[in-house]
Amino acid sequence: MRRRFAAAPLAAVGLALTAVLLPATAATAAPADKATVLSGWTQTSAASSSAFQAARADQGAWSAYGFDWSTDYCTTSPDNPFGFNFSNACSRHDFGYRNYHAAGTFDANKSRLDDAFYADLKRVCATYSSVKKASCNATAWTYYQAVDKLGG
């Protein structure tokens, strides 16, 4: 005896599976996914940093989430110490600090936010060579130590 499957239930399963497997975008994601989006933008990877910078350039697309995009960049430290442009790293770090504070989960995420900041700084330094790279890495380490010890 042959069994026949109804097409409608299979189509529904396919749509549900697609919704689970495809990453959320600004157009399809619901604000209920705010913690997931926030986490995705505050990881140590270059892809996470790039995704954050793209979203930052199109903040309106993410308005339903109510993110705090404000930044003072590197606070009281120079944004471009010795000519090294740390401003994007500082803005992403500010974003993480402000939004995890607002979510009430800052303490659980601070270490990762600081590590992501340091990874961003090192990516800036990787664009230099020789003595200038060494100087940039030393400056990046100093900035990282400051947020690790004093950030909050």
Residues with catalytic function: 93
User: Exposed, middle or buried by CB within 10 Å (0-12, 13-18, 19+), for 33?
Assistant: middle
Q: Which of 98, 77, 95, 96 is nearest to 86 (CA)?
A: 77
Alpha helices in the chain (DSSP H): 7-21, 34-40, 46-57, 87-103, 106-125, 130-150
